[in-house]
A and B are shown apart, each in its own frame.
Chain A
């Protein structure tokens, strides 16, 4: 699935970047993501993502790798993991870009990935909608955390 969003926050680009580059804190803004921690500074992080689709509960140990970083404006990362209980595999590439805008910062989010395994059989439409909800919530939390 692919989701792109742009949100404008009142915080300055440097403040927003500080939040994004604090990867455990940034990952914690993803709905359902907890236990975010650093494995190798600025290279690798880990988290656990829990989501529900109807009666189906997903719990994925995520490995987050920083692919590219251009401080203070752009970060590209890959998040991967597998829920062994239901056999679902998630793989996402996420690019975050900060640009000054109207005295604040425009954050653009590009999330591109797939869900494999039986959960993927629920249908692209359901997965896409879940992903869109998650990105919208993430954008809202980032905006709030950066301004607060």
Chain B
């Protein structure tokens, strides 16, 4: 496999330049950031771009910014930088913690958040987690900028709503209200996770009942917000939701849309959803009471 087929490397300094290059070269060009997914495809000969457009010099894409209640993570921010960012730790601490567990330390140093979302590998921790932060992605092209809900952006395995000539420039997360207890539980023995469950328990506030946010990812063609399960949990006190965990986990197992692959059959993944939603709820409910869960599960990372 070693060695890559030759390509020309463009390193634009501005977004307009980058977009112009993509428009000009069409199918011949692919966007390059960390390259942790792209270079693997190139080595396998599955894609053969004649040109790469390196977006790492574009200034805004490297930044993490706080904007009102939102956290905006630029597309070329590496996972390692998300982990260490003071702004991420302030606004969305669970995101910093999960970023620490993406892939391995080498991939975290080089791979980027934007690259992860734009590649849309079904086995993605961040894509799963971001769904419960009401994430939107910003796309820029010649016709301007548009924002798209992450759930609409990711359309299937390796397929997104990004059109040719568009660049994913940032992902925007909506910070949780104070007192929210969250958890991300990921399971697997391979390089990529077999299952990821993201759960958040929002406390009741004036005019708003307590709320569960729940997403399951890595098991199907794309990560999924489990709206029906969330609806069944609406109004339940986060501190006692553990009493209903079995029932909610069973609902989640019915709601997911798993896909068989080398990580396991669809039936297995459905059952694992039930098991891990229950565990994620237990962790989150414990945190809602100020208690940290110490249970350990085989091949599982509890964040």
Judged by CB atoms under 8 Å, the answer to whether A and B touch is yes
Chain A residues engaging chain B, CB cutoff 8 angstroms: 53-57, 85-87, 118-119, 122-126, 128-129
Could you write out 8 A-B pairs with CB less than 8 Å apart?
Answer: A53-B158, A54-B119, A54-B157, A54-B158, A55-B158, A123-B262, A124-B262, A126-B259
**Contact between B259 and A129, CB atoms less than 8 A apart:** yes
> In the complex, A9→B266 CA distance in Å?
32
Q: How far is the CA of A53 from the CA of B119 in the complex (A)?
A: 11
Cβ–Cβ < 8 Å partners of B48 in chain A: 85
Nearest B residue to A119, CB-CB: B46
Contacting residues, chain B, for A53 (C-beta < 8 A):
157-159
Residue of A119, A125, A128 ringed by the most chain B CB atoms within 10 A:
A125
| B145 interfacial by beta-carbon distance below 8 Å | no
- The number of residues on chain B lying at the interface, defined by a beta carbon within 8 Å of a beta carbon of chain A, is 20
Among candidates A54, A87, A124, residue contacting B260 with C-beta atoms closer than 8 Å = A124
What separation, in Å, do the CA atoms of A119 and B120 have in the docked complex?
A: 16
**Given A85-B48, A123-B262, A125-B261: A56 and B158 interface contact (C-beta under 8 Å):** yes
Q: Mark B229-270, 1 if CB is under 8 A from A, else 0.
A: 000000000000000000000000000000111100010000
A123 and B260 alpha carbons, distance in the complex (Å): 8
State A122–B260 Cα separation when bound (angstroms): 12
Does B221 contact A129, Cβ atoms closer than 8 Å? Answer: yes
Q: Contact: A125 with B259, CB < 8 Å?
A: yes
Are the CB atoms of B157 and A122 closer together than 8 Å? Answer: yes
User: In the assembled complex, which residues on chain A have CB atoms less than 8 Å from the CB atom of B45?
Assistant: 85-87, 118
Cα distance, A125 to B261, chains bound together (Å)? 5
The residue of chain A having its C-beta at the shortest distance from the C-beta of B49 within the complex is: A55
Q: Residue B30 at the A interface, CB < 8 A?
A: yes
In the bound assembly, the distance between CA atoms of A133 and B292 in angstroms comes to 45
Where the two chains meet, the residues of B that have a C-beta atom closer than 8 Å to any C-beta of A are 30, 41, 44-48, 119-120, 122, 156-159, 221, 259-262, 266
Q: Indicate if the CB atoms of B120 and A126 lie closer than 8 Å.
A: no
**Residues in B neighbouring A54, C-beta threshold 8 A:** 119-120, 157-159
Distance between A39 CB and nearest chain B CB, rounded to angstroms: 30
B259 touches A56 (CB 8 A): no
Q: For the complex, what is the distance from the CA of A125 to the CA of B156, rounded to whole Å?
A: 11
Chain B residues closer than 8 Å to A122, beta-carbon distance: 157-158
- Expressed in whole angstroms, the Cα–Cα distance for A118 and B1 within the complex equals 12
CA distance A122 to B45 in the complex (A): 13
List residues of chain A with CB within 8 A of the CB of B260: 124-125, 128
Among A55, A87, A128, A129, the residue within 8 A (CB) of B41 is: A55
Residues of B within 8 A of A86 (CB): 45-46
- With A54-B159, A55-B41, A129-B157 as known contacts, state yes or no: A123 contacts B261, CB within 8 Å: yes
Give chain A residues whose Cβ lies under 8 Å from the Cβ of B119.
54
How many angstroms from the CA of A26 to the CA of B54 in the assembled complex?
44
Q: Which B residues lie within 8 Å of A124 (CB)?
A: 260-262
Q: A125-B157, A125-B221 are in contact. Are A56 and B261 (CB under 8 A)?
A: no
Q: What's the nearest-Cβ distance from chain B to residue A32, in Å? A: 15
Report the Cα distance A31→B262, complex, angstroms: 27
- Evaluate contact between B47 and A129: CB separation under 8 angstroms: no
Q: Which residue of B lies closest to A118 (CB)?
A: B44
Minimum CB–CB distance for A30 against chain B, Å: 20
State A22–B157 Cα separation when bound (angstroms).
35
Q: Chain A residues near B221 (CB, 8 Å)?
A: 125-126, 129
Contacts of B266 in A (CB 8 A): 125
CA separation between A59 and B241, bound complex, in Å? 52
Set A56, A123, A125, A128: member contacting B47, Cβ < 8 A = A56
CA distance A126 to B155 in the complex (A): 12
Q: In the complex, how many angstroms separate the beta carbon of B88 from the nearest chain A beta carbon?
A: 28
Residues on B with beta carbons closer than 8 Å to the beta carbon of A119 = 46
Compute how far the CA of A55 lies from the CA of B160 in the bound complex, rounded to whole angstroms: 10
Chain A, residue nearest B48 (CB): A85
* Complex Cα–Cα for A119 and B46 (A): 8
CB distance from B194 to the nearest CB of A (A): 12
Give the docked Cα–Cα distance between A123 and B46 (Å).
14
Q: Which residues of B lie under 8 Å from residue A128 when comparing CB positions?
A: 259-260
> Contacting A129 at CB < 8 Å: which of B46, B120, B156?
B156
